[in-house]
Chain A
Amino acid sequence: MLLRSYKTIFVTIGLIGVILLASPTIALLIKVPSGQQFSGIYILGSDHTLGNVPFNVKQGVSYIIYLGVNNNLGSAGYYSCNLKLLNESESFSAPNSGQPSSIPPLCEYKLFLDDGATWEAPLVFKVNTLSFDNNSADISSVNINGIDYQMNATSTWDSNKTGFYYSLVVELWLFNATEGISQYNDRFVSLFLNMTQ
Chain B
Amino acid sequence: MKKNKIIFVSITIAMLILPCLCLSFVKATGETESIDLANSSMETAFTNVQAAQQVGANVTQLLARLNNGAVLLTQAINSYNGGNMANVTINAENARSIADQVNNDAINLKNNTINQSKNNFLLTTLLSVIAASIFVFLLVLVWRRFKRSYLNKKLALRPEGAENAS
* Chain A contact residues, CB within 8 Å of chain B: 3, 6-7, 10, 13-14, 17-18, 21-25, 28, 75-76, 78, 105-114, 144-145, 147-150, 175, 177, 180, 182
B108 within 8 A of A: no
Q: Bits for B20-44, please: 1 = Cβ < 8 Å to A, else 0.
A: 0000000000000000000000110
Shortest distance between the CB of A2 and any CB in chain B (Å): 10
The 8 Å CB contact of B132, one of A22, A109, A112, A148, is A22
B132 touches A21 (CB 8 A): yes
Q: Which secondary structure dominates chain A's binding surface? A: mixed
Interface size class of B (residues with CB under 8 A): 35 or more
A107 touches B77 (CB 8 A): yes
Residues of the B chain whose Cβ atoms lie less than 8 Å from the Cβ of A109: 74
B53 touches A112 (CB 8 A): no
The 8 Å CB contact of B81, one of A107, A113, A180, is A107
> Which 6 interchain pairs have the tightest Cβ spacing?
A147-B82, A110-B70, A177-B47, A21-B131, A78-B46, A107-B78
The 8 Å CB contact of A75, one of B53, B66, B70, B151, is B53
A-B contact pairs, 28 of them (CB 8 A): A10-B142, A10-B143, A14-B139, A18-B132, A18-B136, A23-B128, A24-B127, A25-B125, A28-B124, A75-B50, A76-B49, A76-B50, A76-B59, A76-B63, A107-B77, A108-B81, A110-B42, A110-B70, A111-B70, A114-B63, A147-B79, A147-B81, A147-B82, A147-B84, A148-B82, A149-B81, A177-B47, A177-B50
Tell me, in angstroms, the Cα distance from A25 to B70 when the chains sit together. 39
With A28-B121, A28-B124, A107-B77 already in contact, the answer to whether A149 and B135 are too (CB < 8 A) is no
Tell me, in angstroms, the Cα distance from A149 to B73 when the chains sit together. 17
B43 touches A108 (CB 8 A): no
Q: Which of A6, A23, A25 has the most CB of B within 10 A?
A: A25
Q: Bits for B59-77, please: 1 = Cβ < 8 Å to A, else 0.
A: 1100100110010011001
Tell me, in angstroms, the Cα distance from A110 to B78 when the chains sit together. 11
B135 touches A17 (CB 8 A): yes
The 8 Å CB contact of B139, one of A6, A10, A28, A114, is A10
Q: Which of B74, B127, B139 has the most CB of A within 10 A?
A: B74
Tell me, in angstroms, the Cα distance from A37 to B77 when the chains sit together. 29
Tell me, in angstroms, the Cα distance from A175 to B40 when the chains sit together. 11
Q: From B40, which residue of chain A is reached at the shortest CB distance?
A: A180
Tell me, in angstroms, the Cα distance from A148 to B79 when the chains sit together. 9
Tell me, in angstroms, the Cα distance from A105 to B74 when the chains sit together. 13
Tell me, in angstroms, the Cα distance from A68 to B76 when the chains sit together. 21
Tell me, in angstroms, the Cα distance from A107 to B67 when the chains sit together. 17
Q: From B134, which residue of chain A is reached at the shortest CB distance?
A: A21
A112 touches B67 (CB 8 A): yes
A3 touches B42 (CB 8 A): no
Residues of the B chain whose Cβ atoms lie less than 8 Å from the Cβ of A21: 128, 131-132, 135
Residues of the B chain whose Cβ atoms lie less than 8 Å from the Cβ of A75: 50, 53-54
Residues of the B chain whose Cβ atoms lie less than 8 Å from the Cβ of A76: 46, 49-50, 53, 59, 63
